Amino acid sequence: MPRRKVISEDIRNMKVKSHQSAEGYAATIKIFDISWSTVRQIMYKWRAFNITSTQPRSGRPSKISQIQRFTDLPCCTSGYCSITIRSRYGSHRRVARKKPCCQKKNHNDNALIGFLVFLIILTSLALLFVLYKIYILRRKSTLIINRYDENSLLNVEPIGSEVLLDAYKRKIADEGRLFLQEFQSIPRIFSRNPIREAKKSCNQPKNRYVDILPYDYNRVQLTTGNGEAGCDYINASFIDGFKESKKYIAAQGPKDETVADFWRMVWEQQSSIIVMVTRCEEGNRVKCAQYWPSPEREAEIFEEFIVKLNGENHCPDYTIRHLSLANKRERCAEREVTHIQFTSWPDHGVPGEPHLLLKLRRRVNSFKNFFSGPIVVLCPENVIFALNAGVGRTGTYMGIDAMMEGLEAEGRVDIYGYVVRLRRQRCLMVQVEAQYILIHQALIEHNQFGETEIPLAEFHSTLSTLKQKEQASEPTLLEVEFQRLPWYKNWRTFNTGVNEDNKKKNRYSSVIPYDYNRVLVKLEDECSRDQDDDNDYDNDYDNDESSDEEEESTKYINATHIDGYWCQKSLIATQGPLPDTIGDFWQMVFQKKIKTIVMLTECQEGEQEFCSAYWGDEKRTFGDIEVEVTATETLPAYTTRSIQIRHAKRKESRQMKQYHFLKWAGRELPEKPQDFMDMIKNIKQTCGYGNGRPEKILPAVVHCNDGSSRSGIFCALWNLMDSAETEKLVDVFQVAKALRKERQGMINSLEQYQFLYDAVEGAFPVQNGEVKHAATTPSGADSVQVINENKPEQPASATIGTEQQALVVEEAEESTPLVAEAGKDTGAVAEGKEDDLKDPGSPTEKTPLGEGSNGPVITVDV
């Protein structure tokens, strides 16, 4: 083998033992028995160093004895390296300048590093450019949105009180097109108002919904927190009143974890009135945490706040709670807080009667004083957008309250402008169109009718004022009030009652039940057993209008559901049964589980039949119902009969009582109001209709010749008595107005209207300057006469019947449907004048209303 090749092989197999020194890398090569020329060749092969060396000291060539393998010589970094060659002849060290052994590698690394640095710089510049562009675009979009927020607003002029009704009719025409246009032009959120605090991570759990947040500029800030992040935040906003800054606080319904913050806000703002426009649960969903103590516990502690329940008054539409609030950190006295919870807002839509919100406003204002602080209003929101947001119902109440002040102060209202103002202070205030329309309806209600509610303590003095005449030629205030009562003509359809097959079942063609609240009597083969009857009765409360399927499976009877004071459909007003409808009458009594029947006429008055005898001296059968009178009690003014009915097919028996008033025959009004009131009180006491808060009341049936003239007076006094005893308030006007909407021909004369006032005055006489409840005539043994029903009845004296006055009213415009989808019967109104009434006469048969009246003609409230 040639020597050069051997040396090359040796070079490849040598190892280098290297270490790092102060000068750089040092390599030690141990070579034995090798000539110097070979060493030079070895070093030449290592191109890592520029080597200049000399011959070994001996000058003698070496023989190859051992070669230590040498590989992986690291690249030096200092610029100099030393190489020591050791042989048997000694050691030889040479220092050489670094030759670019790693020069090529370093060039590659430097290029890569430079490229990466350039790429990072370029990327950073591109990222900064993109961020700048995003900032510019957002700024432009914000300006565009803000400009759109302002440009979308309409120029809607304020409405004067004298043209308020006309403006409403104009806007509600064509399915409320103008109302919709106005409402949709108001931005849901004004984007120029920042919302930063509410979006912080520490505050997000306190919000019930992510899209209903308070603006930063007018949010309520808590000042006595625990110092943690977000301790000053609560989802609540200050809202301005008509001309009063920060009159209200609009807050979401508290969550379980924010109840303490809610009471902290009440304490810091010194608020003494809380208005809650919701229930804690609606539609099986929790809408608001109960932040007050229950009657069982009486007191609750929320962190440092102690809340006590001092009293609780339940009314049909609202509950008033008297609370006391104390702070354990402060030694000041307890503060009184009035909590008013409105409970008549339906799960969907808006309240059917605008005057309910006016009534709520009167309750709130009755507790307000100069030191009340801001009124806290909280609610859930309509299911369309959000729940428990504190915007929709809250904004509606605030809009009504503020615009009422404007109407009274300036004689005009700017509803559109105020709703825009509300939206600037909290997003989505007045959330749906129906709420926007409800504000108009409530203002029309107040503008047209005024405040007709009278405290019971002031009833006698107010009635004296109403009956006074300033001049003999001028009407009394009571007459003026009656003239303001609206007449409702065709505001609802009554197609079923005027059907050819059913016309013969009506005693008078002028009194036909409306389709929406007529009593449905199931066909016998459609009837089920007791459990199904209960469900049928419950469904009557849930469904305002009968469906087509129910229409096909029911028979017609001239009877109407009448709303009571405590609950809906607590009375049934019906005509005196005809000979052919007695079976239907008893079928209705059996299916609706009636326990009380009130009869206000004789079977025969004069020459006219007012009611067919639907009971007999002995057991009688009408259709499938067996009727038997088991006992009779006679009082001077009325007779009570205990009646047992039995269904022949089902073999079921039921007991009921009939109250037959005896002092009305031949008169338009009862002979003595006190006798009539005594009977009503006795019915309430003995039949379970007394004061209370019933969850469900079986309806009582009241009938007269037409189911309206006398029955209307009974229904009115029935509700007025409950109101006077529960709320210590009397509102004859609203009661009569509601009855006129429910059935034709009710409270149709001034004499009947004044009788209501006189009857209430007699039921609550004044003693020693205080109003007392009149004692009910006892029905003891001394005043009870048991008679034999087998004896023929005494003939009734000749009487003069009362005719149903015609419901004359100005025809409403054809294009005035009420709020579509928001409740068909909300604020429906008919117009009319008392001068249009016809002279009363005897109740003769009248022709049914024209076919054009059968269509769904809906008018609006005057």
Tell me how far apart the alpha carbons of residues 771 and 775 are, in angstroms, rounded to a whole number.
Answer: 12
> Active-site residue among 76, 527, 611, 704?
704
Tell me how far apart the alpha carbons of residues 435 and 803 are, in angstroms, rounded to a whole number.
Answer: 41
Tell me how far apart the alpha carbons of residues 756 and 736 are, in angstroms, rounded to a whole number.
Answer: 9
- Judge contact between 820 and 850, C-beta under 8 A: no
CA distances from 105 to 15, 20, 101 (A): 22, 20, 8
Tell me how far apart the alpha carbons of residues 456 and 724 are, in angstroms, rounded to a whole number.
Answer: 7
Q: What is the pLDDT of residue 739?
A: 96
DSSP output for 46-94:
-TTB-------TT-PPPPP-EE-B---PPPPSSSEEEEEEEETTEEEEE
Q: Which two tokens mark 562?
A: 């009448």
pLDDT over 70 at 605, yes or no: yes
Q: What is the pLDDT of residue 837?
A: 34
Question: How large is the average pLDDT for residues 757-770?
Answer: 86
Proportion of the chain in helix, strand, coil states, percent, rounded to 5: 35, 20, 45
Q: What is the pLDDT of residue 22?
A: 41
Tell me how far apart the alpha carbons of residues 538 and 208 are, in angstroms, rounded to a whole number.
Answer: 33
Q: What is the mean pLDDT of the chain?
A: 77
Give the lowest-confidence range in 173-177, 470-474, 545-549, 714-718: 545-549
Q: Show the CA angle centred on residue 356, arms to residues 354 and 359, nearest 5°.
A: 120
**Full set of structural domains in the chain with CATH:** 3-97 (no CATH), 159-448 (3.90.190.10), 503-783 (3.90.190.10)
Q: Which residue reads 């419901």 in tokens? A: 807
pLDDT greater at residue 166 or residue 75:
166
Q: What is the pLDDT of residue 775?
A: 58
Tell me how far apart the alpha carbons of residues 632 and 261 are, in angstroms, rounded to a whole number.
Answer: 64
Residue pLDDT, tens place only, 326-379: 999 887 788 999 999 999 988 778 998 999 999 999 999 988 775 567 878 765
Confidence of residue 808 (pLDDT cuts 50, 70, 90): very low
Closest CA to 421 of 242, 275, 168, 155: 242
Residue pLDDT, tens place only, 484-515: 999 888 789 999 999 999 999 999 999 999 99
b/e per residue 371-388 (b: at least 16 CB within 10 A): eebbbbbbbbbbeebbbb
pLDDT over 80 at 319, yes or no: yes
Q: How far is CA 814 from the centre of its chain?
A: 31
Which residues have CB under 8 Å from 18's CB, separation 6+? Answer: 25, 26, 27, 28, 73, 74
Tell me how far apart the alpha carbons of residues 396 and 380 are, in angstroms, rounded to a whole number.
Answer: 12
Q: What is the pLDDT of residue 352?
A: 87
Give the lowest-confidence range in 21-25, 64-68, 83-87, 461-465: 64-68
- Judge contact between 89 and 35, C-beta under 8 A: no
Active-site residue flag, 315: no
Active-site residue flag, 704: yes
pLDDT over 90 at 137, yes or no: no
Do β-strands 571-575 and 652-661 pair in parallel, antiparallel, or remain unpaired?
unpaired
Q: Show the CA angle centred on residue 353, arms to residues 351 and 357, nearest 5°.
A: 70
Hey, what amino acid is at 282?
A: E
DSSP state for residue 254 in the 8-state scheme: P
Question: How large is the average pLDDT for residues 293-298?
Answer: 90
Tell me how far apart the alpha carbons of residues 425 and 240 are, in angstroms, rounded to a whole number.
Answer: 8
Residue 52, Cβ density class (10 Å: 0-12 exposed, 13-18 middle, ≥19 buried): exposed
Q: pLDDT over 90 for what percent of the chain?
A: 52
Q: Which residue reads 């009910």 in tokens? A: 776
Q: CB 56: neighbour CB atoms within 10 A?
A: 19
SS (H, E, C) 796-823: CCCCCCCCCCCCCCCCCCCCCCCCCCCC
Tell me how far apart the alpha carbons of residues 255 and 251 are, in angstroms, rounded to a whole number.
Answer: 11
pLDDT over 60 at 56, yes or no: no
Q: What is the pLDDT of residue 838?
A: 36
Tell me how far apart the alpha carbons of residues 271 and 375 are, in angstroms, rounded to a whole number.
Answer: 6
Q: What is the pLDDT of residue 376?
A: 81
pTM here? 0.73
Q: What is the pLDDT of residue 529?
A: 46
> Active-site residue among 81, 315, 379, 527?
379
Q: What is the pLDDT of residue 741?
A: 94
Question: How large is the average pLDDT for residues 533-559?
Answer: 61
pLDDT over 60 at 629, yes or no: yes
Which residues have CB under 8 Å from 114's CB, separation 6+? Answer: none
Question: What is the largest distance, in Å, between two alpha-carbon atoms of the chain?
Answer: 168
Which residues have CB under 8 Å from 314's CB, separation 6+? Answer: 693
pLDDT over 60 at 77, yes or no: no
pLDDT over 80 at 534, yes or no: no
pLDDT over 80 at 184, yes or no: yes
Question: How large is the average pLDDT for residues 274-296?
Answer: 88
Does residue 444 sit in helix, strand or coil? helix
Closest CA to 507 of 854, 804, 855: 804
Confidence of residue 782 (pLDDT cuts 50, 70, 90): very low
- Judge contact between 185 and 436, C-beta under 8 A: no
Confidence of residue 37 (pLDDT cuts 50, 70, 90): low
Tell me how far apart the alpha carbons of residues 746 and 716 are, in angstroms, rounded to a whole number.
Answer: 9
pLDDT over 90 at 104, yes or no: no
Rg of the Cα trace of the chain?
A: 46
Tell me how far apart the alpha carbons of residues 421 and 418 are, in angstroms, rounded to a whole number.
Answer: 5
